[in-house]
């Protein structure tokens, strides 16, 4: 049975038709302007929208499309783009396409020896420039505003005192009428002999020679003054003596960035050091905070404890506070001179600990802070798991004569780990990349190696952040991206292994 | 013998309560210190005391009057609020489709989503920054240093996990309720809005609040995308505000910390049991 379309369906169809008409209009405009990327984007988007709204098969995707759009734009696309950048040399100094870099380099100019200047006078009516007359010591020219140079004999000139009074019937312009008109010629290069003319001051043109000439056949740049030949190497033009020209350009470099993390002494030492600390940091943080959380869960899991609800609510305060605020507070506590810890230690024992200045103590401080931040989570998780362990198991163990410690190690802990271990692995993955904590507490400091970006407490992600956004050598986008890809591989590896492990644990639990 | 056992019982009970209070002291002292010092007239960290002799509100007043603190708080609430509300709606839509429709590509889409959400969005920071930089050249309101741009970034990051999370919940809602609506002539979308969404209200609230708290505390992406002082969110602003000025800004920072934490603390405790079950179910809050 066919139903008669309702008013709503007609309205929807009408709106879609209207939108499509608008899209066609925009596309024509974009085509007119030659903005092809916009054209493709708009047309593609419109086609997709039509398919979504008109096809029955695509019906479920009407629900999925908005979410997928954001996910694609802000997660999937950046993922792919990061991988792409990691295979290039994209960084400060190598930001342009090659032909742009060549254009900028071949526009560099030198003043010929001896220098040549062309004082000029202007002709036309106020507000409209007809031509300029350039006097070049016996080599005069008429220059039109569109950049055309012409010999004086082609024009009707009326001279007085060596300067024309009029050109082709147009009278000479006064300075105040001329300057605004001439200003429009600023930056314009008028080809002349083997170089160009360009406005040097508001009264004269100068003659300039290009410093470099590009030879497309050999793909080299030749210095016109010295004859030095620059050949392209690693995204820049480099002379045999090692002198490199800026700007360079973007090119793909294959695995070079990754290799540098394993070979280049500038990155290799830092990478290994940061990686080892990063693993240790995540393992120790999770282990200590789980130990504390579990201990507190066992403490609270006693039904005889009358205030356990209150205790629980108070103990999860660190978890309820925004982490960035807590970390800033802890950083203040650790301050060497003014902080609470050293003030207390000094007044009691007369010692001051270099909490954030010394490598060991900085790492200690980080782990302590993270334990404070995350033990409530571990406690909650453990409490939930403890309550799901059947009581008969304890009875059975008691009957078998197991003491309370043996009951914990042989019954509670193994059973607890089955439900908790996936969450511990999730927590490990999160801590592994916990940029906020590292950055707000230590900024990766203290410095351990002069010249290297990575400090003693930097994790891989904060090291990548420094390479990308905080560099003394500018933005090392490509190295940061390569590092991000390495981190991603580590995350995948850990997740993959843990997935396999947890499945194994589930099977164990089914066997019980 | 009975009395000896009861003595041991009492001792153990005392010990448990004592240990609990030690842990609570450890948990609470940073917060108590900050609350106390925010009322202390001095701005110097080393001179301040947890229990002020002459409590004053001067730090709150100066912070709000002389610094863009309220602007930062407003920015944060705006960005986090819009992100979390739009997130919950879009994720509910997607989760509903995954839960109720059987279509070609469903399994693949679900698995892809699972894989993609393992990729921490912060790893794409370089690409995101460059993307927004380019976007901003064509659409200035969506580029670097704009709130809509930041919201766009956060929305993308929130899709994967929350869609999965809500799909799991929708799977537990019996279909029979919608089916009767469908028999009555409702479209699937109407059934979704009128039947499923109201039933899913608890999970919607949890997702909104967890998302709000997460965005509220986000630092990395906000710090690379927001450049002007008046554009900062609270995490970026407060960090730069305090810097290492422990001698002359501590009191004001403490006041800011108290104000900045209040909202989140209230939200957390209001929805405590739901949030806890959501978080211990696999969501990781930061």
Give the one of A377, A434, A484 whose C-beta lies nearest to B279's C-beta: A377
How far is CA B112 from each of CA A56, A76, B232, rounded to the nearest angstrom? 23, 10, 34
Give the one of A75, A335, A377 whose C-beta lies nearest to B45's C-beta: A335
Residue B236 has what pLDDT?
Answer: 95
Which residues in chain B touch residue A338, judged by CB atoms under 8 angstroms apart?
Answer: 44-46, 246-247
For A281, the enclosing helix (H) or strand (E) is helix A265-300
Query: Is the CB of A314 less than 8 angstroms away from the CB of B235?
Result: no
B18 vs chain A: nearest CA distance in angstroms? 11
Give the one of A66, A322, A381 whose C-beta lies nearest to B216's C-beta: A322
Distance from C-alpha of A409 to C-alpha of A416, rounded to nearest angstrom: 10
Residuewise pLDDT in 10s, chain B (286 residues): 445 568 888 888 888 899 999 999 999 999 999 999 999 888 888 887 778 888 889 999 999 999 999 999 999 999 999 999 999 999 999 999 998 888 888 888 888 887 887 778 999 999 999 999 988 888 889 889 999 999 999 999 988 888 888 888 888 888 888 888 888 888 888 888 888 899 888 889 889 998 999 999 999 999 999 998 899 999 999 999 998 888 889 999 999 999 999 999 999 998 888 777 766 665 444 4
Query: Is the CB of A488 less than 8 angstroms away from the CB of B116?
Result: no
Distance from C-alpha of A79 to C-alpha of A76, rounded to nearest angstrom: 5
Residue A1 has what pLDDT?
Answer: 45
B8 vs chain A: nearest CA distance in angstroms? 14
Is the pLDDT assigned to residue A317 strictly greater than 50?
A: yes
Give the one of B138, B220, B261 whose C-beta lies nearest to A435's C-beta: B220
Average per-residue pLDDT in chain A?
A: 86
Query: Is the CB of A64 less than 8 angstroms away from the CB of B250?
Result: no
Query: Is the CB of B109 less than 8 angstroms away from the CB of A64?
Result: yes
Distance from C-alpha of A430 to C-alpha of A487, rounded to nearest angstrom: 12
Query: Is the CB of A74 less than 8 angstroms away from the CB of B152?
Result: yes
Q: Quick count: other Cβ atoms within 10 Å of Cβ A420?
A: 23
Residues 6+ apart with CB under 8 A from B263: B77, B216
Most confidently modeled range among A7-21, A83-97, A396-410: A83-97
Which residues in chain B touch residue A305, judged by CB atoms under 8 angstroms apart?
Answer: 13, 16-17, 20
Give the one of A59, A75, A326 whose C-beta lies nearest to B157's C-beta: A75
Distance from C-alpha of A265 to C-alpha of A279, rounded to nearest angstrom: 21
The arithmetic mean of pLDDT across residues A357-367, rounded, is: 94
Query: Is the CB of B33 less than 8 angstroms away from the CB of A329?
Result: yes
Which residues in chain B touch residue A314, judged by CB atoms under 8 angstroms apart?
Answer: 24, 27-28
A512 vs chain B: nearest CA distance in angstroms? 23
Residues in chain A: 512
Which residues in chain B touch residue A477, judged by CB atoms under 8 angstroms apart?
Answer: 126, 130
Most confidently modeled range among A21-35, A405-419, A472-486, B83-97: B83-97
Label residue A505 by pLDDT band (50, 70, 90): low
Distance from C-alpha of A352 to C-alpha of A367, rounded to nearest angstrom: 19
Determine the residue of chain A that is closest to B248 in CA distance: A338
Distance from C-alpha of A251 to C-alpha of A85, rounded to nearest angstrom: 10
* Percentage of residues of chain A with pLDDT beyond 70: 96
- What are the structural domain ranges in chain B? 2-58, 68-280
Please spell the DSSP secondary structure of chain B, one letter per residue. Answer: -HHHHHHHHHHHHHHHHHHHHHHHHHHHHHHHHHHHHHTSS---TTT--SS-SS---HHHHHHHHHSTHHHHHHHHHHHHHHHHHHHHHHHHHHHHHHHH---TTHHHHHHHHHHHTTS-GGGGHHHHHHHHHHHHHH-GGGSTT-HHHHHHHHHHHHHHHHHHHHHHHHHTS-THHHHHHHHTT--HHHHIIIIIHHHTHHHHHHHHHHHHHHHHH--HHHHHH--SGGG--HHHHHHHHHTT-TTTSHHHHHHHHHHHHHHHHHHHHHTHHHHHHHHHTT----
Give the one of B26, B46, B279 whose C-beta lies nearest to A343's C-beta: B46
Determine the residue of chain A that is closest to B29 in CA distance: A318
Q: What is the Cβ-side half-sphere exposure of residue A45, based on CA atoms within 13 angstroms?
A: 14
Strand partners, A230: A221
How far is CA A131 from each of CA A109, A173, A181, A382, B107, rounded to the nearest angstrom? 25, 10, 11, 87, 73
Q: Quick count: other Cβ atoms within 10 Å of Cβ B14?
A: 10
Per CATH, the number for B68-280 is 1.10.3720.10
Query: Is the CB of B93 less than 8 angstroms away from the CB of A299?
Result: no
Give the one of A82, A314, A322 whose C-beta lies nearest to B123's C-beta: A82
Determine the residue of chain B that is closest to A67 in CA distance: B90
- At B119-165, the pLDDT tens digits run 789 999 999 999 999 888 888 898 899 999 999 999 999 888 888 88
Distance from C-alpha of A412 to C-alpha of A417, rounded to nearest angstrom: 9
Which residues in chain A touch residue B217, judged by CB atoms under 8 angstroms apart?
Answer: 322-324, 436
- Which residue shows structure tokens 């000029």? A120
Tally C-beta pairs within 8 A across A and B. Answer: 248
Which residues in chain B touch residue A318, judged by CB atoms under 8 angstroms apart?
Answer: 27, 30
Determine the residue of chain B that is closest to A297 in CA distance: B20
Which residues in chain A touch residue B104, judged by CB atoms under 8 angstroms apart?
Answer: 57
Query: Is the CB of B257 less than 8 angstroms away from the CB of A464?
Result: no
């Amino acid at each position: 049975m066919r139903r008669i379309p309702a008013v709503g369906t007609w309205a929807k169809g009408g709106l879609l038709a209207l939108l499509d008409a608008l899209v066609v209009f925009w596309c024509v405009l974009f085509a007119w302007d030659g903005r092809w990327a916009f054209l493709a984007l708009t047309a593609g988007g419109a086609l997709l929208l039509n398919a979504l709204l008109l096809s029955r098969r695509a019906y479920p995707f009407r629900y999925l499309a908005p979410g997928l759009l954001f996910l694609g734009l802000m997660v999937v696309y950046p993922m792919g783009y990061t991988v792409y950048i990691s295979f290039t040399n994209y960084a400060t100094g190598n930001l342009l396409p090659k032909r742009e870099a060549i254009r900028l380099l071949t526009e560099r100019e030198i003043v010929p020896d001896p220098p040549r200047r062309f004082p000029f006078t202007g002709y036309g009516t106020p507000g409209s420039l007809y031509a300029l007359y350039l006097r070049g010591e016996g080599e005069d020219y008429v220059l039109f505003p569109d950049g055309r140079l012409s010999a004086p004999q082609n024009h009707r000139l009326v001279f007085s005192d060596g300067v024309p009074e009029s050109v082709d019937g147009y009278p000479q312009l006064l300075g105040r009428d001329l300057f605004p008109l001439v200003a429009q010629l600023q930056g314009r290069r008028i080809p002349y002999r083997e170089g160009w003319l360009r406005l040097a001051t508001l009264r004269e043109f100068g003659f300039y020679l290009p410093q470099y000439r590009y030879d497309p056949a050999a793909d080299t740049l030749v210095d016109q003054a010295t004859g030095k030949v620059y050949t392209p190497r690693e995204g820049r033009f480099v002379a045999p003596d090692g002198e490199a020209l800026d700007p360079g350009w973007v090119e793909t470099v294959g695995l070079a960035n990754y290799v540098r993390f394993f070979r280049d002494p500038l990155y290799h030492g830092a990478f290994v050091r940061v990686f080892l600390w990063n693993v240790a940091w995540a393992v120790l943080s999770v282990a200590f905070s789980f130990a504390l959380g579990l201990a507190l869960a066992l403490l609270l899991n006693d039904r005889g404890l009358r205030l356990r609800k209150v205790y629980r609510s108070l103990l999860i305060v660190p978890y309820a506070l925004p982490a960035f605020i807590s970390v800033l507070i802890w950083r203040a506590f650790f301050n060497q001179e003014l902080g609470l810890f050293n003030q207390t230690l000094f007044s009691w024992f007369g010692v001051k600990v270099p909490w954030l200045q010394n490598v060991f103590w900085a790492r200690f401080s980080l782990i302590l802070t993270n334990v404070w931040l995350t033990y409530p989570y571990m406690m909650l998780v453990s409490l939930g798991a403890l309550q799901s362990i059947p009581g008969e198991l304890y009875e059975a163990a008691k009957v078998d004569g197991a003491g309370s410690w043996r009951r914990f190690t042989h019954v509670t802990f193994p059973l607890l780990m089955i439900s908790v271990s996936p969450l511990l692995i999730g927590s490990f993955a999160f801590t592994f990349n916990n940029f906020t904590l590292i950055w707000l507490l230590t900024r990766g400091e203290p410095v351990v190696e002069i010249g290297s970006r990575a400090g003693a407490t930097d994790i891989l992600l904060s090291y990548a952040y420094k390479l990308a956004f905080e560099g003394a050598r500018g933005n090392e986008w490509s190295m940061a991206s390569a590092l991000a890809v390495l981190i991603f591989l580590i995350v995948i590896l850990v997740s993959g292994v843990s997935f396999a492990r947890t499945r194994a644990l589930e099977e164990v639990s089914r066997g019980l | 013998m009975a009395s000896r056992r009861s003595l041991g019982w009492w001792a153990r009970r005392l010990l448990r309560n004592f240990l609990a209070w030690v842990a609570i002291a450890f948990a609470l002292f940073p917060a108590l210190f900050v609350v106390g010092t925010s009322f202390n007239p001095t701005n110097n960290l080393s001179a301040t005391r947890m229990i002020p002799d002459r409590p004053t509100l001067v730090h709150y007043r100066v912070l709000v009057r002389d610094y863009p603190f309220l602007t930062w708080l407003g920015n944060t609430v705006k960005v986090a609020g819009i992100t979390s509300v739009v997130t919950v709606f879009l994720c509910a839509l997607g989760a509903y489709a995954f839960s109720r429709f059987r279509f070609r590509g469903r399994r693949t889409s679900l698995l892809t989503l699972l894989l993609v959400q393992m990729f921490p969005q912060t790893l794409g920071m370089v690409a995101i920054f460059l993307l927004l930089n380019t976007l901003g050249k064509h659409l200035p309101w969506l580029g670097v240093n704009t709130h809509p741009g930041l919201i766009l970034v956060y929305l993308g990051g929130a899709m994967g996990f929350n869609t999965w999370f809500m799909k799991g919940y929708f799977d537990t809602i019996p279909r029979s309720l919608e089916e009767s609506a469908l028999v009555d002539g409702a479209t699937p979308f109407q059934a979704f809005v009128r039947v499923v969404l109201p039933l899913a209200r608890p999970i919607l609230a949890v997702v909104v609040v967890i998302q709000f708290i997460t965005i509220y505390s986000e630092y990395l992406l906000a710090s690379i995308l927001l450049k002007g002082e008046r554009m900062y969110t609270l995490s970026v602003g407060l960090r730069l505000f305090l810097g290492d000025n422990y001698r002359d800004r501590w009191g004001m920072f403490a006041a800011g910390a108290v104000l900045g934490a209040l909202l989140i603390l209230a939200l957390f405790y209001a929805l405590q049991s739901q949030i806890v079950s959501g978080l211990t179910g696999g969501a990781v809050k930061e």
